[in-house]
Structure 1
Amino acid sequence: MTPTPVHDHITDALKAPALVRLSPGIVLIRFETLKVYAALGAVRHLLRTGVIHKGQTLVDSSSGIYALALAMACHRHGLRCHIVASTTVDDTIRAQLEILGVTVDQMPPSDDLRLDQNRRVARVRELLARDPGLHWMRQYHDPVHHLGYAELADLVRRALPEQELTVVGSVGTGASSGGLTRSLRGHDPGVRLVGVQPFGSVTFGSERFTDPDAIIAGIGSAIPFDNVHHELYDRVHWLDFQHAMAATIGLMRDHAVFAGLSTGAAHLAARWEANRDPGRTHLVIGADTGHRYAARVFARHREALDPARLAPVEITSLDDLAPPWAAMEWARRAVVPAQERRKDPVP
C-alpha cells in the first residue's frame, strides 16, 4: 500500500487532482485550483533561469484563481506578489490574497469586461513605469505558463494508459488546455482537444454576441490572448450562460460534484462528444470548485434547464454561429478571423 505523502507546501497538495469516472466514456479531472500548475511551473522556470530572484515582486492581472495560485507560488519561493484584480474577484479570494501578503489593486465595478481588462492593462503599465524591478508574469501571453502542465500530462498518461483520449475544457487563457494537450501529443499525436467558449469571447470569433448573464472571465476573453494556440483545437463548443448553468447544476445533481461554471460547460460538451464518438475517453477539465459561483449559479438551481434536453446546433462556418449552443469542427486551424484584427495590449 502506497503511503499518503506528507507535502512540504500546500501547493503540492492543491495541485493534486481527483479523477472521477462520470460515465463509461467520460472522466472528470477535478482540481481545487488548476492554475497552481501554471503558476508553479512558471515561477520555478523563471527562478531556475535567473529571470527572477528571491525577494523580487511579481505582478500580474487576474480574474481570480490565477491570482491565488501565483500568490501561493510566491509564498512558497520567497517572492512578493502584486495583483491587479478584475472586478469579478470576490471578497473571499481577496481576503486570502491579502493574508498572504499580496498587494491588491481591484478594478471598479463594471459590466464591460473589455473595459475591465483595459483598466487592468493601464494599471500594470503604470506600476512597471514606476518600478522597473517588478516582473510582469503576463499569464495571458507568456508561454512559460504552459510548462507546468507537462507534469499533469504525465499524471494523466499513468491514470488512463492506452486509451484514445479527447481533452475537453474551457479555453480561457489557453495555457491549461493547450499545455496539457501539447504534452500529451508528444506521446500520442492522436489526442483530440475540444475547447469550450462563451458567447461574447473574441478568442474563437463570437464577439458580436452579448450574453448579459455570462461570467465570461476564465472561460473566454474580450481581448485576444497569445497563449491561445488555435491550431491545437479539433472542435469548439460555444454555450450561453443558461446552458452552462444548467450543466453545472446538473453535474452537482447527478454526480455530487461541486465545481465551477467552466467545468459544467465542459461536461455538457463532453457528453455530446462522447455520444458522437463512444470509443474514446473524454477527459473533462474541472478547473476549480463551485464556491465563487454559489450566489450567481447554485442559488438559482430551481430555474435551471434540464441538461438532458439540450443539444447544440452543428455549424460549418462562424457565419452560422448563434446562441444558445453551437458546435463546430475547428480542425486545428491556425487562426480565427478576429485574430487578424489589431490586438489590444493585455497583461
Structure 2
Amino acid sequence: MRAQSGTAVPVHSHITDAIKAPSFVRLADNVVLARFETLKVYAALGAVRSLLDRGIVHPGQTLVDSSSGIYALALAMACHRYGMRCHIVASTTVDTTMRVQLEILGATVDQMPPSTDLQLDQQRRVARVRELLQRNPDMHWMRQYHDPVHYLGYAELAELVNAALPGVPLTIVGSVGTGASTGGLVESLRRRDPAVRLVGIQPFGSVTFGSERFSDPDAIIAGIGSAIHFGNVRHELYDRLHWLDFRHAMAGAVALLRDHAVFAGLSTGAAYLVAAWEARRHPERTHLVIGADTGHRYTERVFTRHREALDPARLAPVEITSLADLTPPWSAMRWARRSYPAVRLISPQEHRKDRVS
C-alpha cells in the first residue's frame, strides 16, 4: 500500500525508533491491543537518556542489569544507540535466540544455571550483579526493578495512546512485572484524565501482590510477577488485580492468535483474557491491552501445545474481597488504588460497590 501523496514517511536514524511505537489493533468494540515488538525499549531509552543528561553515566561506561529477557534486549539496543557498553545477568529462561542477539549487539552475558525455582534464579542474578559491581566500580547498575528512572520513557507512549484513543473512558490492562510499564503509562495518562483505570495481572507465586504461598509448576510467565520485592511497583496505582495460572495465560495467547492472527507472548495472552472479561462487565469503557512482546520465545513451550489450550469462553475468575481468599487458577479483586498492606482485607460493601460501578 502506497503512502498518500504528501504524507511523510519517516526514515529512522536507529532501530529503536522504528520498533518502540506500538500498532493499535481493535479486537472488539471496547477492546484494543497495543502490540509491541519490545515494550521495554521505552523504559531503557528513557532511563539511559535521563542518566546521560544528568551526568550520572557517561558515554562508553558499562551499564549492567539483571533480566529475564525483553529488558535485556531493550537495554542492549539503548546502549548500542547511545555508545554505552552493556552487561546482562540473564535469567535461566533467556533462550538462545535472545542470547545471540545480545552478544552480537555487543553485550556481555552471564546466564544463570538451569533452575525451576524462580526465587533462586532471581536471587542468583542479584548476587551476581553485586559481585560485578564490587569488581568493577565504574559499572552502573540500572536497577530496572527499583530505579524510578524507568518510568520516564512511558510518557511518550501515553501521548500515542491519547492520540489513538481520544476522549474515551479508558482502562489499561497489563502485567505488573517490575511495575514501570503499566505504572509509568498510567501515571502519565492520569495527568490528563485521573479517571483512567489500571487493571494489573499477576501469576500465582508472586510476592508483589501477595500470592507467594502458591506455586504453579508450569508457570513460565516471565515479566508478570516476581519472587522478590520490586521497589518500582506502586501498588496504589492499580484499581483491580487478576491472578492467573499458566494454563489460563496460555488459553489467552492461543485464542489471540486463533481469533485475531496476533502472535504474542504469555503476558499478552493473560492480558487479553482479562480484558475480554473486564470489557463484558464494563461495556462503556475502552480496554487497552498491553502486548509487551511477540510470541517467539514461547513457541516450544506454549504454542506447540495449542491443542491443549482451554476454551476462553468457559473461563471466569473467582471474585474475592481478601488476599486470604486467593484461589487458583484465576482470582480477581478490587484493589482500589491502595498501598499493599492496606489491601489485606476489603469489605464486602466496598466490593459490591465496585461490581456495579
Instruction: With the length of structure 1 as denominator, give the TM-score of the two structures.
Output: 0.96
In structure 1, stretches of 5+ residues that fail to align are 340-347
Q: What is the aligned partner in structure 1 of residue 99 from structure 2?
A: 94
Secondary structure class of the residue paired with 1:186 = helix
Q: Distance between the aligned counterparts of 1:338 and 1:22, measured in 2?
A: 32
The CA deviation at 1:101 is: 1.0
Alpha-carbon distance in structure 1 between the residues aligned to 2:139 and 2:225: 27
Cα distance between partner residues in 2 of 1:117 and 1:338: 26
Q: CA deviation at 1:217?
A: 2.2
Matched, 1:178 2:195: no
Q: Residue in 2 aligned with 1:157? A: 162
Contact 2:322 2:343 in 1 (8 A): no
Please give the alpha-carbon distance, in whole angstroms, between the structure 1 residues aligned to 2:123 and 2:222.
14
Looking at structure 1, the residues matched to 23 and 55 of structure 2 have their Cα atoms a distance apart, in angstroms, of 34
Match runs of 1:44-59 below 5 Å: 44-59=49-64
Please say if residues 203 and 336 of structure 1, whose CA atoms lie closer than 8 Å, have aligned partners that are also in contact.
no
Distance of aligned partners of 1:338 and 1:313 in 2 relative to their CA distance in 1, 3 Å threshold:
closer
Counterpart code for 1:226: G
Aligned residue in 1 for 2:133: 128
Does 2:19 correspond to 1:23?
A: no
CA contact (8 A) 1:204 1:336 kept: no
C-alpha displacement of 1:336: 4.1
The yes-or-no answer on 1:276 pairing with 2:281 is yes
**Relative contact order: is structure 1 or structure 2 higher (C-alpha 8 Å, sep ≥ 6)?**
1
Distance across 2 between alignment mates of 1:7 and 1:328: 43
Asked whether the equivalents of residues 170 and 219 of structure 1 are also in contact (C-alpha less than 8 Å), the reply is yes
- Matching of residue 223 in structure 1 with residue 231 in structure 2: no
Matching residue of 1:345:
none
2:351 maps to none
Q: 2:101 is paired with a residue of what secondary structure?
A: helix
2:33 is the alignment partner of 1:37: no
1:67 deviates by 0.3
Assess if the C-alpha contact under 8 Å between 1:31 and 1:288 holds in 2.
Answer: yes
| 1:267 maps to 2:272 | yes
2:291 is aligned with 1:286: yes
Q: Unaligned regions of 5+ residues in structure 2, if any? A: 345-357
How far is the alpha carbon of 1:335 from its aligned partner?
1.5
The question of whether the paired residues in 1 share the 8 Å contact of 2:90 and 2:125 is answered with yes
Root-mean-square deviation (Å): 1.1
Q: Secondary structure at the match of 1:60?
A: strand
Q: What amino acid maps onto 1:5 in structure 2?
A: P
Aligned-partner SS, 2:192: coil
SS in 1 for 2:64: strand
CA distance in 1, matches of 2:264, 2:112: 26
Residue 337 of structure 1 deviates from its aligned partner by 7.5
Partner of 2:326: 321
Q: For residues 144 and 160 of structure 1, what CA distance do their matches in structure 2 show?
A: 26
Are the counterparts in 2 of residues 239 and 325 from structure 1 also a CA contact under 8 Å? Answer: yes
- The whole-number CA distance in structure 1 between the counterparts of 2:343 and 2:34 is 31
Q: Return the alpha-carbon distance in structure 1 between the equivalents of residues 94 and 261 of structure 2.
A: 26
Q: Which residue of 2 aligns with 1:187?
A: 192
The residue number in structure 2 matching 1:344 is: none
Q: Deviations over 1:304-334 (max 9, x none)?
A: 1101110001100011101010100000011
Shift of 1:16: 1.3
Query: What is the deviation of 1:69?
Result: 0.3
> Aligned in 2, Cα 1:90/1:336: closer, same or farther, shift over 3 Å?
farther
Corresponding residue to 1:108 among 109, 113, 118: 113
Could you give the per-residue CA deviations for residues 137-195 of structure 1, whole angstroms, max 9, x where no partner exists? 00000000000000000010011000000000000000000000000000000000000
Q: 2:174 aligns with which of 166, 169, 172?
A: 169
Is 1:204 the equivalent of 2:234?
Answer: no
Shift of 1:3: 2.0
**Match among 75, 80, 83 for residue 75 of structure 1:** 80
**Contact 1:230–1:336 (8 Å) recurs in 2:** no
Which aligned runs of 4 or more in structure 1 are off by greater than 6 angstroms? none
1:242-297 deviation per Cα after TM superposition (whole angstroms, max 9, x unaligned): 11101100000000000000001001110111111100000000000000000011
**Residues 35-63 of structure 1, C-alpha deviations (whole Å, 9 max, x = no match):** 00000000000001100000000000000
Give the corresponding residue for 2:124: 119
Question: Does 2:339 match 1:334?
Answer: yes
SS at match of 2:172: strand
2:8 is aligned with what amino acid?
Answer: P
Inter-partner Cα distance in structure 1 for 2:126 and 2:41: 23
Question: 2:18 matched to 1:13?
Answer: yes
**CA–CA distance in structure 1, aligned partners of residues 126 and 221 of structure 2:** 18
